[in-house]
Each structure stands twice: as structure tokens, then as C-alpha cells.
Structure 1
């Protein structure tokens, strides 16, 4: 009996040592204490997610972390990997210590985006690094840097060989089209003025391999003569005028023949405030975030046009053709809901000699845009920056003032201003 008791005690001791050994192998906080959603959104009064993407801080995101026994974990990334609204990674090995758990690994998103991750989680705090992100090859990343179209006046008249349509080459960096007659009648004005400004403010757009979109941008050009001054080609600015935007303000992915751009509104707000612009309240931000919630998840859908064809600008039988290699545009199904908000822009237009004209244009355009069935607004891009850049605007301006399109634009603008 005594031998049996000794044997039993020995067995219990062995089991106890084994269990203690197992416990020490997986030592860490109680799983229930670290299983939670972690967020660094501005609406979260106590942000508990420290997230970096390609080595830079990224805010406005959330992550789910869960573990049952402290050996493996499940992690869900919400709108972090471009194109994946909720990417769930399961059975990730984790290593525990006295204060938390650590982990590393590789993963691939549903659209083929590969990346590495490394993290550390403690009670009430989650640190996560996403690195080495690589989007699957697509029509955009084959040419990662795209340039805007400098507005240098109209080119030669040509004939499209496939349709026989006669058209004029035009360096309009903006595409604007509608089936509404009144809206369409202003297409020439919108394309000329907006394209002129865009070609001066934005030099290039970079579609990075990690899904980031960056751009080289400059301040708004100043001209004499109010809005009329923007019909003339603006001087080409030196590279030193342009700054490169930070990463993590917007990401993109390709699906089918569409480009989806996901703006990180909270990162953009943070950048604006760091630039000492007008502060944006949390209340205002929440309302904006609610309005464009779909954009923050699935992204803004841009149609990709890789073969630019002639188009009617004034609905009078005359055609133009945008000079460029690719056009990206949104349609009414994507942005139509925002037309009702356009009158709000009148309150934020800065005081200038253009303000009254812009207010008149908004008052006229908004009801017509709402009534339209077809609406397209886009940007024209080229693979290489135009080499034929005039040193001054005197000659192009003179040619432009005698052109058919310029004359029509002036007639339309004068009609608008007289209403």
C-alpha cells in the first residue's frame, strides 16, 4: 500500500511538472484580456492601435485580434490591404512572455497582394507593422508614374481613320461629359479651365507597388483677368515648385477594367491640420465619414480608358481628341449622390475676383447635373511629360484666341455671366 501511495504521488508530481512546463511554454496575458478590436480612428477617444504601413504611420484603421489558449491567433485587417475590406488571417503562431504576445508572418490578399506582417500585443495596446507590400501586376503598375497634360493650346486638325470623324487635338487634361444639354454646353469651359489649372497644379501621379498613390503637386497658379485668365496656357513651372505628397493618404487596386481609389480621410485631415489649414472638428469629420463610407471601404471606382477616341464637345458636330495615353473617369453612378452637396462649395470659395463667377456657375450647374442621366468627369494622363513646352505663353495664347474652340468657350462664358 505504501508503494502504491509513493507511485501515485510520483505520477501526480510528474503530471504537475508537465502541466507547469506547458504553461511556461505559452506564458502570457490571459487570452480574454487581449482578444478585442483595436482602433486608431480619430473617433476613438482612446486609440489602442499603433499601425505602420510601408514604414509610415497609418491612422483611421481597425484590427481584430483573438486567441483562445495563447498559442495561435486570428487577425482581421479592416480596409488596410488595398481591395480587401476585411482580410482574415487565421492560425498565426504567437509567442508569449510576461507582458504580451509577438508574431511574424507572410500573407496574400484576395486580389493577390502579398505582404509581410509583424506585431506585438499587450493588454490594451496592439502594435502592427505591414511591410513588403506588393500588388499583383496590373494595367496601372506597368507604368507606375503618369504625367498630367500641360495645357499648351490646340493642335492640328486630323481625321480618325476608323470612323472618318474630323477632330482637333486638344491638350485638355480634364474630361467632362453629360447628356444634359445645359451641362454639356459648358464642357468646353470646364475642360479648358480645369485642365489648365490641373496641368499647372499637378505634375505627376505615382501608382506605387505597395498600393499607395502619391503625387507631385504645387500651389494654385495666380493669373490676371479672373477666370478669363485661365483660358490661356499657363507658364510651365520648374520641378522645384512641386512637392511629393506623403504616403498612406490614398491607396488603390485594380478589379476588371476599373481603378478603385480608397481615400484615407482621417490621414488627409491630419495632413491638412499639420499644414496649418482650417481645423476640422471631429463632428464635421464624422458627418463626412458617414457620407462617403462606401468610398472608405470599397474605394472610388474610376473607369479606365486606354484608347482615347474623338468626342463631341459642343454637341454641334465638332469633335476634339484628348492628347494622352490613358483616361480615368468617374460616372454618375459613383458620384451622383454628391451633386446635392455642391451648393455647400459656395461657402468655402475664397474671396477673389473669380468668386462671383464660380457661384453663378454652381447655381446654374447643380440642378442640371441632378437632372442628367449621363455624367463623366475624369483626368487625362500620359506616360512621358510633354517635350514640346513653350517658353512663353504669347504665341500659344494668340493662336488660341483665334481658335474655334476658344471663341465658343468665350461666347458660352459671357452668356453665363449675363444671366
Structure 2
């Protein structure tokens, strides 16, 4: 009997120690951290290569087994106040809420989902690793608690880097202009819109830079120095600061635009509206809020097919702007294997022009536009007015009925 009593005592003591041991076992990492969507205004710190990134949303979803899922996407951008400011007066109060979708910070993806392994305790965890998407690979690390999420992304590398490099603008032929459509009468001769655009932008000095006058193409070449497509999907540019004497060069910050190669000589260009607006706001001066008396923006907006325009332009903020690249099209330029045109094609440009064309069907508004353009042309004003009058009258018909091809872009030469 004593032996049984001794055995039960040993079993009881073992059970006590086992119970105590279970009580002291560490809780599953992240067990008390709830699922939450974090924004910059609500606990999110997101950095890309050490630089804080704007306009992103990160969702944290734990799975109660020491794992979780992170979802990164662009934050919708509210532009109601911008549109209201353009409308002016009482019409601004009637502006409906309008938000724009944006892309994630990862090139080529509207939204990226990352499964992570959590380390730490129930209420505070960290994670690290690397992953890939259709277009790129990248590394991540971060930490999360109930009220905050810190996430750092680094080492983004596109899987296709065939166009990566730095390109200079071709000064002798900086722009690609292709427009096949019906002709119109200009002083008794047949003219087309392509030839008129090239004439107006290459022959007559209309733009003043640092005390000198340039035609549009020359001004473009003087301002845009180079464009770099990074292997990390970034797009940056070096340009001249036109507000500073001597036109010193400035490098645009990373984060304004990203790209991926989408096949068939096409890239998709992703703009970050919030980053662009922030960059412009930092350069604002006392003249920023000056209003032109030449136009009433609400009249112009009232003529444009806003709904159609929005339906075409807005989706590209999250899916990317299709930008083609290929050989330079210009008879005056010798073929160069390092020269590349990056351009918007007919499928993107023409539907937008068709939504804008009603502006030029209004004779009074058309006159205002022509007079404004002439006033900006200085001594060339009368000539600009003479050219623009028949062209803008013919514009709606050409855009809606006879255009078979239209392309606008830049001619660049790889260093």
C-alpha cells in the first residue's frame, strides 16, 4: 500500500511541475496583436532604402501561429480640394469627393502581399526576410506592436533591367511627334497638325530662360539634362532650376516615379501623386497662387468630358502609364543604336484628346485660348495667332474622325 501511496505522490508532484512549466511557457509571437490597417497618420513608419515613403497603407493580419501577412498598397489620394480650387467661387462648394487610386511602392504592383515569420513575444514582434513579385525582388524587415508598425524595404531589383541606365536628351531632336490625320488650310496651303507642332516648337523663340529666349524644343533641351531608369525600378531626372540665375542643375528625388518593363517594348510608368504634390509644395513661392485672368477654369472643365477623362486617366495611377520605347522617328537624325524614343501611343493619347476636343468646339473659348497663347509668344504673338486659328478650328474633326496615328514622347541617348 505504501508503494502505491509513494507512486501517487510522485505522479502528483510531476503534474504540479508540469502545470507550472506550462504557465511559464512563452506565448505565441504576436498572439495579442490585433489585425490592423496602418497609415502614416495611424502608427505606420514605412521606409524605402532608409528614406521615408509617403502615400502608402500597410495591413497586418496575424494567423495565431507565429505568422502573419503584410499587405502594402497605395493610399487613395483625395483631390476634391484641388478640383474645388480650380472651379473657384461657389462652385467649389459643390465639388464632389474625388479620390485617386495609387500604386504600391513596389514597382509594377498595385498591392503586394508578404507572408512573414514573427519573432518576439505576444505583444511585440519583429520580422525579416526577402520575397519577390512578378517584376522584382526585394528585402524587408520590421517590427509591430498593437499600436505601431515599422517597415523597411530595401534592395529592390527588377527582374528585367534591359533599359536601365542614364539617358541624355537628344538636343538636335528632343521630342518625338507623330500625328497622321487630315490636313487643314493654312494661308492657302494644306497643313497637318504634326508639321504645325514642329513649326511652332522649333522655329520661334517664345520661352525665356535666364534672360535668353528659346523655342520650345531648345528650352526642353536646356532644362532636361538626363533621365535615369534605375535597376531598382526608380525613375529620376536631372534638370535645370529655371528660377535660379545660371540655371543650376537639380536632381529630382527618388519616389516620384517608378517603372517596370511589361514586354513588347513597353514599360509601365507609375507616378506617386502624393510625392509629386509634396515636392512641388516644397518649391512653392509667392507667385504660386497667382491666377491667370485669361481663363475661367470652370468654363474649360465644363466643356471637357470629365467622366470620360477620369475613367481613362485615373486607372493608370494604379496600373501604370503604358510607355512605348523604340527607334527614334526623325528624318533629320542619323540612326544611332544608343538613341531611344520613349513615347505615349495612340491607344493612350487619342481617347484623352477626344474627351478634351469639345473645348475647341466653342468659338468664344477657342478665341480666348488663341489670344492667351499669342500673349505668351511675345513678338511672335501675331504669327502664333495666325497659325493657331485654323488649326484649333479643325482640331475636333481631326481628333474625332481622321486621326489614324498619334505619338508624343522624348528622344533620349543612353550614356
TM-score over 0.5 for the pair: yes
Deviation at 1:250, TM superposition (A): 0.4
Provide closer, same or farther for how the CA distance between residues 262 and 363 of structure 1 changes in structure 2, counting only shifts above 3 A.
farther
- Say whether the 8 Å CA contact 1:308–1:322 is kept in structure 2: no
- For 2:253 and 2:392, how far apart are their aligned partners in 1? 32
Deviation at 1:114, TM superposition (A): 2.0
Say yes or no: does 1:249 pair with 2:256: yes
Per-residue CA distance 1:5-55 (angstroms, 9 max, x = gap): 7735742651452353131xx354624x2x223234xxxxx4443211122
Q: Residue 271 of structure 2 aligns with which residue?
A: 263
Q: Residue 338 of structure 1 aligns with which residue?
A: 352
Q: 3-state SS of the aligned residue for 1:138?
A: coil
Say yes or no: does 1:84 pair with 2:109: yes
- For 1:53 and 1:292, how far apart are their aligned partners in 2? 27
Q: Residue 36 of structure 1 aligns with which residue?
A: 36
- For 1:380 and 1:221, how far apart are their aligned partners in 2? 25
- For 2:397 and 2:321, how far apart are their aligned partners in 1? 23
Question: Which of residues 148, 152, 174 in structure 1 aligns to 2:169?
Answer: 148
- Say whether the 8 Å CA contact 2:31–2:64 is kept in structure 1: no
- For 1:126 and 1:183, how far apart are their aligned partners in 2? 54
Provide closer, same or farther for how the CA distance between residues 52 and 4 of structure 1 changes in structure 2, counting only shifts above 3 A.
same
Q: Residue 343 of structure 2 aligns with which residue?
A: 329
Aligned length: 320
- For 2:356 and 2:39, how far apart are their aligned partners in 1? 30
Q: Residue 209 of structure 2 aligns with which residue?
A: none
Q: Residue 164 of structure 1 aligns with which residue?
A: none
What stretches of structure 2 of length at least 5 have no aligned partner? 74-103, 183-191, 203-214, 290-300, 302-306
Q: 3-state SS of the aligned residue for 1:247?
A: coil
- Say whether the 8 Å CA contact 2:176–2:329 is kept in structure 1: no
Q: 3-state SS of the aligned residue for 1:117?
A: strand
* Higher mean C-alpha deviation, range 47-56 or range 182-191: 182-191
Deviation at 1:75, TM superposition (A): 1.7
- For 2:311 and 2:49, how far apart are their aligned partners in 1? 27
Say yes or no: does 1:105 pair with 2:112: no
Q: Residue 60 of structure 2 aligns with which residue?
A: 65
What stretches of structure 1 of length at least 5 have no aligned partner? 41-45, 151-170, 223-236, 311-318, 385-419
- For 1:247 and 1:241, how far apart are their aligned partners in 2? 19
Deviation at 1:125, TM superposition (A): 2.6
Say yes or no: does 1:174 pair with 2:194: no
Q: Residue 318 of structure 2 aligns with which residue?
A: 297
- Say whether the 8 Å CA contact 1:205–1:214 is kept in structure 2: yes
Say yes or no: does 1:212 pair with 2:214: no
Q: Residue 162 of structure 1 aligns with which residue?
A: none
- For 1:191 and 1:265, how far apart are their aligned partners in 2? 28
Q: Residue 136 of structure 1 aligns with which residue?
A: 159
TM-score by length of 2: 0.66
Provide closer, same or farther for how the CA distance between residues 209 and 266 of structure 1 changes in structure 2, counting only shifts above 3 A.
same
- For 1:255 and 1:21, how far apart are their aligned partners in 2? 51
Deviation at 1:328, TM superposition (A): 0.9
- For 2:351 and 2:147, how far apart are their aligned partners in 1? 39
- For 2:43 and 2:310, how far apart are their aligned partners in 1? 20
- For 1:351 and 1:9, how far apart are their aligned partners in 2? 99
Question: Which of residues 184, 187, 193 in structure 2 aligns to 1:183?
Answer: 193
TM-score by length of 1: 0.65
Provide closer, same or farther for how the CA distance between residues 309 and 184 of structure 1 changes in structure 2, counting only shifts above 3 A.
closer
- For 2:392 and 2:342, how far apart are their aligned partners in 1? 24
